[in-house]
Structure 1
Amino acid sequence: MLKIDDLIIDKEFEELLPVLTPEEFVRLEQSILKDGMLDPIKVWEEPGTGRNIIIDGHNRYRILKKNNISLNYWENYKFMYADELPTRDDVKRWMLEQQLGRRNLSEAEKYEMVQKFKSVFEQKAKKNQSLGGKGSTNLPKVDTRKEMAKATGVSEGTYRKMDVVMKSDNEDLKQKLREKKVSVDAAYKEVKSTDQKPITVKQQIDRLDKRINDIDKTIESLQVEKEEIIQRRTSIFYALDIKCPVKYRWDKKGYSNTFPCFWKCQIYIENEEYENIFGEYSVYYNEFPSDCDMEKIPETYRNDFRMIWKKAHDEIKALQDEVDKKSMENAKKQDEILKNAMKLIPTDEDKVILKQFYRVLANTYHPDNKKTGNAEMMKHLNDLKAVWGI
């Protein structure tokens, strides 16, 4: 039987749901303690990982945890399997339907709810467009705005006006719209009239901060989707009937040939023109992979993975040893050059002789000597004087 500690809160899914106020949470807690769970927690068994992810009932879950209440099958939780919800996007669509169906929401509140699920509508549009390009001509073109307006329960025109209002900086007006104290048309007109006025520096910064926050959320959502796709692709690769060869290659990560020890080793399997990457590893310092690294590799490939790691380690070790050897040889040469240069520096005894040598030559080449004077030679002689330090 499923234990409460087996349940997992997925950050992306949780952020799609409205947050209860402290008062609402207390009322829900008192209701559960008095009457029990009237609505079971919905749990999605994620394909590929088998994780038991909460998709409805996050607050109920926290209340059970807080009060040390264990789960009772079909009373406190209900499973949603892969045949019902195959992908994360399917889960999101289900969550949206649940939220819109059970709550007495204003149009503005429905709008905000639908906005959280915008990526689902966009993904559906991209998917249909992609399939249409592959010959599925019977698929209707998905208009994201139209679909989101339909989910909100308003016309496209009303949705467009609501979009302008809810993306404005007028928080008071947005709250009035949520509470149905102002119509969409009236709120839209007020925003448009305000748009004609110059905005303050603070409003500009707030507007940009909001946009940055929206971009961050989009990036996070796309990253989660990317990880899911990589996981599904990996599962397909591992399910192949034939065993694929394990290979490796180097990613220098911006490091030159002087530092092979910092290169990353990318270990992967290959089947025809396709490949699946196990990961990028620093193999220089470890002759064999750690237990942690091995746990992430399918049993079928573990021996080959271990041998490839050893081969890569030996190669990078030999390369670094060769670089270190050449560096030592160059250091010795530089040291020899320095020692020889030190020998050229005159001692105090040498300087006595050099001074005499300088005087003789200076008398010969000084420009005042009308017979042998030579200004250019005198300049070279003074340069030597400076080098000798006399």
Structure 2
Amino acid sequence: MQIKINDVLRAYIEPLTEAEYMALERSVLAEGCRDALVLWQDTLVDGHNRYQICQEHGIPFKAVENTSFRDLDDVKLWMIDNNLGRRSISDYQRGVLALRKKEIVRARALELAAEAAAEDAAIAPPDGEAKPKPAAMPLTSREDIARAARLSSATISQIEKIQKTATPELVEAVRSGTISINAAATVASLPEDAQIAAVAGGKKELQKAAKEVRDLRTAGKPPKEAKGAREDGERDYNRNPTEADELRRENAALREKNAALLEEITALQRRISELASSSSQG
């Protein structure tokens, strides 16, 4: 079979870094292509990097066709869910994928609603025959998106802001881990030239830019009495955010993420128990 490459699908998932690609290449050269490539008819869906490595080095591989795909959106949803299930992707990548899923699901919900409205306007069905209704669609709220990505709602909100207002340079910085999601969302409120300059200055300059934005926001708020201020003039860390403050915020976000994971685990365990009970009764 002649495998086809769809450029949209190949670029749909964040590309591997150079180091990640080299590590994958070493693995394939040493152990072969262990996992089968996934196809939609004759178009490659999953395994673009492995396919490229196998082609370059003449390494044999297996390919399987997923016959459940109806259209390109089905393929994209499968790719999103497949990658959300991997532990190796970053929180930023998780958020981006969940937001992409939201857009596809939203478009489908609107399409189903339009179809239902058209059917309602047509000739009524025979008595006793129920009218078709749009299926209930997930990811209707930021909380749903956060749950799908196993992130906090606050983090999803920050990723949305980064996608809307961050320059490509700033996006690459957060994607590579040079700057945190929290700080990147703050820097994304700056003009484009200021964002680009901050990225060019490296991690310290990005942290400085984020701190300056927070300081300006704090200055624009009604003054509050400093908590725990000392008479000896010790710096008030509540009014002057530092890198330590940013780490505290990230720690709080991680705690919220952990709580969401525990909730998901509990729900899965409950479901397993229900299935086991149902199976034993049957």
Report how far residue 202 of structure 1 moved. Answer: 9.6
1: CA distance, partners of 2:159 / 2:100: 15
1: CA distance, partners of 2:99 / 2:3: 27
Report how far residue 25 of structure 1 moved. Answer: 2.2
2: CA distance, partners of 1:27 / 1:174: 21
**1:68 maps to which residue?**
58
**1:168 maps to which residue?**
165
* Secondary structure of residue in 2 paired with 1:102: coil
How big is the alpha-carbon RMSD for the aligned residues of Structure 1 and Structure 2?
Answer: 3.4
2: CA distance, partners of 1:138 / 1:121: 12
What is the count of residue pairs matched by the alignment?
182
For the 8 Å contact 2:5–2:44, the answer to whether it is kept is yes
User: Does residue 79 of structure 1 match 2:88?
Assistant: no
Distance 1:38 1:187, change over 3 A: same
Q: Which has the higher contact order (CA 8 A, sep 6+)?
A: 2
User: Does residue 107 of structure 1 match 2:53?
Assistant: no
2: CA distance, partners of 1:61 / 1:128: 37
**1:17 maps to which residue?**
13
**2:235 maps to which residue?**
none
User: Does residue 151 of structure 1 match 2:148?
Assistant: yes
Equivalent AA in structure 2 for residue 107 of structure 1: D
Distance 1:183 1:36, change over 3 A: closer
- Percent identity of equivalent pairs: 23
Equivalent AA in structure 1 for residue 66 of structure 2: M
**1:94 maps to which residue?**
78
For the 8 Å contact 2:39–2:46, the answer to whether it is kept is yes
For the 8 Å contact 1:7–1:54, the answer to whether it is kept is yes
Distance 1:86 1:139, change over 3 A: closer
2: CA distance, partners of 1:55 / 1:158: 29
Equivalent AA in structure 1 for residue 43 of structure 2: I
2: CA distance, partners of 1:174 / 1:22: 14
Structure 2's unaligned 5+ residue stretches are 120-130, 197-282
Distance 1:86 1:201, change over 3 A: same
Query: Paired residue for 2:30, among 23, 26, 34?
Result: 34
For the 8 Å contact 1:107–1:178, the answer to whether it is kept is no
TM-score with structure 2 setting the length: 0.52
Question: Counterparts of 1:1-390 in structure 2 under 5 Å?
Answer: 3=1, 6-45=2-41, 52-71=42-61, 76-81=62-67, 84-117=68-101, 119-133=103-117, 134=119, 136-137=132-133, 139-140=135-136, 146=142, 147-169=144-166, 171=169, 175-176=173-174, 179=177, 182=180, 184=182, 188=185, 191=188, 194=190
TM-score with structure 1 setting the length: 0.39
Equivalent AA in structure 2 for residue 127 of structure 1: E
Report how far residue 173 of structure 1 moved. Answer: 8.3
Distance 1:166 1:63, change over 3 A: same
Structure having the higher Rg: 1
Distance 1:136 1:56, change over 3 A: same
Distance 1:160 1:201, change over 3 A: closer
Distance 1:103 1:34, change over 3 A: same
Report how far residue 137 of structure 1 moved. Answer: 4.5
**2:276 maps to which residue?**
none
For the 8 Å contact 2:92–2:174, the answer to whether it is kept is no
Distance 1:57 1:142, change over 3 A: closer
Report how far residue 10 of structure 1 moved. Answer: 1.0
